Amino acid sequence: MNQTERLIFHVDVNSAYLSWEAARRVAAGGEDLRLIPSAIGGDKDKRTGVILAKSIPAKKFQIKTGEPVRTALQKCPQLVLARPDFRLYHECSRAFVEICGRYAPVVEKFSIDECFLDMSGTAVLYPDPAAAARAIKDEIRDTLHFTVNIGVSTNKLLAKMASDFEKPDRVHTLFPAEIPAKLWPLTVRALFSVGRATAQRLEQAGIYSIGDLAQTRLQQVQTLVGKKLGRQIHNYANGIDDSPVLAEQEKAKEYSISTTLEEDVVSANQANPILLALADGVSARMRADGAKAFCVTVTIRTHTFRTRSHQKTLSAPTDITTEIYEIALQLFGELWDGHTPLRLLGIALSQLTEEPYEQVTLFSDEKRDKARKIDQTVDQIRCRYGTNTIVRGGAYEMSRKVGKKYQAQMDGKKKKKP
C-alpha cells in the first residue's frame, strides 16, 4: 500500500463474554466453555433470564442470543450456563485495549469488545501491516488467553468488515484494490449498518449483494431507504468512509458499562434482565470505590447503529443497585419506541460524590436501608468468594415485577407505530 495512505486496524474479541469467562475457568483448571455447548446468561435452575452469548457448539442446537434460557434448555438440555460477570468483562476489555495502545498512536474504543487503531505513519516501525496485526493478535492470545480478529485497511469501515471475515484468531486485509474480490460478493445483509428492514427493501428491489448495491445508482438507493441512510450504505458498499479514529477524550469521572448483543433485542422482556445485570455490575464497581452518583444515563444503539441516550439527575446521590435499576427501566421506557430492534444497551453513573450525603426526611427510609444492607452483603460475599458465587435472585424477581410497569408503556408505544 501507499505509505501516505491511512492505515486502520479493527480489533474484535471473538465471542467476548463467553471467551472471557472461558479463559478465567481454564486458568483455574476448569473446562473450556468454548469447546462445549455453553452460554452466558440467566439461571439454569430457575430457567429464567436470556442468553447473552453462546459457544460455537451451542449454535449447532439453534440457540440464539436474546432468547429465553427456558427455550434454550429445551433445545439443548446439557447446555452449560454461566451467569454474566460485568466486572470481569470490564477488566478483560481494559486489558486488551491496553495492549493495543502499545502499538498504536491512537486507539478508539468502539464497544466493550472492539476498538479501532489508527496505525497511520507507523510504516518505519511496522513495514508489514498484516504482520503488525498478527503481533497484536498473538500478544493478546498469549497474554490474556482469549482470541481476537483484526481487520486491516485504509478506513474504519473496511477494517471492520475485514475483521468479520473467517473467525476466530485471524487477521484479514481489505484494501481498496481487494473490494471487488472480497467485499462485493457478500450478501447485502453483511454490510455494516444494513439492518433487516433495510435489507428486505433492497432485496425486494433486486439488490442482493454488496456489489449490487455499489453499482446501483445513488438516487435509486435513496428512494428505497431514505436520503441519509441511502448515501451512507452506498458509500460503504463502495468502500468509502472518511470518519476519523478518535482518541478517548478525558471526561469527568464516571462509571459506565454496555453490552453489544449478537442478536437484536426486540422486547422489553428481553431488555429488563440485561439492564438489571448492567445495573448490578456498574453499581458494584462504584461502591467498591466508595462513590455515589447523582446522575444515571441509559444508552441504546439501534440495529441501524443510531445511538441515543437519556439521563436523570437525582435530588440525592445513590449507590443502591435496585434504585439504579428502576431508574434505568424508567429511562429505557422513555427512550425506546417499543419496536425498533436494539443492538446495544448501556448504563452510566456520573456526577459522583464520595461525601456522606443523605436526603433529610422526618422518617428513616427502611426500604433503602434494607437494600443498602443487601448490597453490602452481596459485595462482601463476591469479594471473598468470587463474583459468580451469588446472584440477586430477589432482584431478578423484582425485574419481573417492576418490568410489567414499563412493558405496559412499551405496548402503548407499539400501538402507536405508524
pLDDT beyond 80 at 197: yes
Q: What is the CATH number of the domain that holds 294?
A: 3.30.1490.100
Identify whether 178 is part of a domain.
Answer: no
pLDDT at 250: 45
Given 195, 227, 248, the domain boundary residue is 248
Number of structural domains (the chain) is: 3
Q: Which residues, at least 6 apart from 257, have a Cβ–Cβ distance to it below 8 Å? A: 86, 89, 90, 112, 278, 281, 282, 285, 346, 347, 348
Q: Are residues 160 and 234 in the same domain?
A: no
Q: Are residues 163 and 262 in the same domain?
A: no
pLDDT at 230: 95
Q: Are residues 41 and 56 in the same domain?
A: yes
Q: How confident is the model over 172-189, as pLDDT tens digits?
A: 999 999 999 999 999 999
pLDDT beyond 90 at 325: yes
β-bridge mates for residue 9, sequence order: 117, 152
Give the β-pairing of 8-13 and 148-153. antiparallel
Q: Per-residue pLDDT averaged across 121-149, rounded?
A: 94
Q: What is the mean pLDDT of the chain?
A: 85
Identify whether 179 is part of a domain.
Answer: no
Given 196, 214, 248, the domain boundary residue is 248
Query: C-alpha distances in angstroms, 207 versus 200, 221, 238, 262, 357?
Result: 9, 9, 14, 25, 60
Task: Return the residue matching grid coordinates 478517548.
Answer: 248
pTM of the model: 0.65
Q: What percent of the chain has pLDDT over 70?
A: 84
Residue 364 is which amino acid?
S
Q: Give residue 1's pLDDT band: very low, low, confident or very high (50, 70, 90).
A: low
Q: How confident is the model over 79-113, as pLDDT tens digits?
A: 999 988 877 888 899 999 999 999 998 999 888 89
Annotated active-site residue in 67, 108, 114, 323: 114
Neighbours of 69 (CB within 10 A): 22
Cβ–Cβ under 8 Å, residues 157 and 241: yes
Q: What is the CATH number of the domain that holds 47?
A: 3.30.70.270
Neighbours of 370 (CB within 10 A): 12
Q: Are residues 270 and 405 in the same domain?
A: yes
Cβ–Cβ under 8 Å, residues 140 and 150: no
CA 275, 276, 279, 281 torsion-angle sign: negative
Q: Tell me the three state secondary structure of residue 253.
A: coil
Q: Are residues 237 and 329 in the same domain?
A: no
Q: Which three cell numbers stand for residue 256?
A: 459506565
Q: Are residues 135 and 280 in the same domain?
A: no
Q: Tell me the three state secondary structure of residue 2.
A: coil
Beta strands in 266-321 (DSSP E): 292-302, 307-318
Query: C-alpha distances in angstroms, 33 versus 23, 36, 79, 114, 417?
Result: 8, 6, 10, 21, 41
Instruction: State the angle between helix axes of 86-101 and 268-288 in degrees (0 to 180), rounded to the nearest 10.
Output: 70
Q: Are residues 75 and 59 in the same domain?
A: yes
- What does 318-369 look like in DSSP terms, one character per residue? E--HHHHHHHHHHHHHHH--SSS-EEEEEEEEEEEE-S------SS--HHHH
Q: Which residues, at least 6 apart from 308, have a Cβ–Cβ distance to it below 8 Å? A: 299, 300, 301, 302, 335
pLDDT at 111: 84
Cis peptide before 185 (omega within 30 of 0): no
Residue 262 is among the residues annotated as catalytic for this protein: no
Identify whether 277 is part of a domain.
Answer: yes
Q: Per-residue pLDDT averaged across 326-342, rounded?
A: 93
Q: How confident is the model over 267-312, as pLDDT tens digits?
A: 988 899 889 989 988 998 888 888 889 899 999 999 888 899 999 9
Write down how long the chain is. Answer: 418
pLDDT at 369: 76
Q: Give residue 46's pLDDT band: very low, low, confident or very high (50, 70, 90).
A: low
Q: Give residue 65's pLDDT band: very low, low, confident or very high (50, 70, 90).
A: confident
Host domain of residue 208: 184-248
Q: Which residues, at least 6 apart from 86, have a Cβ–Cβ distance to it below 8 Å? A: 257, 259, 277, 278, 280, 281, 282
User: How many whole angstroms separate alpha carbon 60 and alpha carbon 1?
Assistant: 40
Q: Are residues 20 and 102 in the same domain?
A: yes
Identify whether 201 is part of a domain.
Answer: yes
The backbone region for 302, taken as left when phi is positive above 0, alpha when psi lies in -120 to 50, beta otherwise, is: beta
Q: Are residues 243 and 287 in the same domain?
A: no
Q: Are residues 154 and 138 in the same domain?
A: yes
β-bridge mates for residue 259, sequence order: 345
Given 173, 193, 213, the domain boundary residue is 173
Q: Are residues 236 and 325 in the same domain?
A: no
Identify whether 48 is part of a domain.
Answer: yes
Q: How confident is the model over 245-269, as pLDDT tens digits?
A: 988 654 447 899 888 876 789 998 8
Q: What is the CATH number of the domain that holds 200?
A: 1.10.150.20
Q: Are residues 234 and 268 in the same domain?
A: no
pLDDT at 4: 59
User: How many whole angstroms separate alpha carbon 260 and alpha carbon 64?
Assistant: 14
Burial 168-203 (b: 16+ CB within 10 A, else e): bbbbbbbbbebbeebbbebebbebeebbeebbebbe
pLDDT at 375: 78
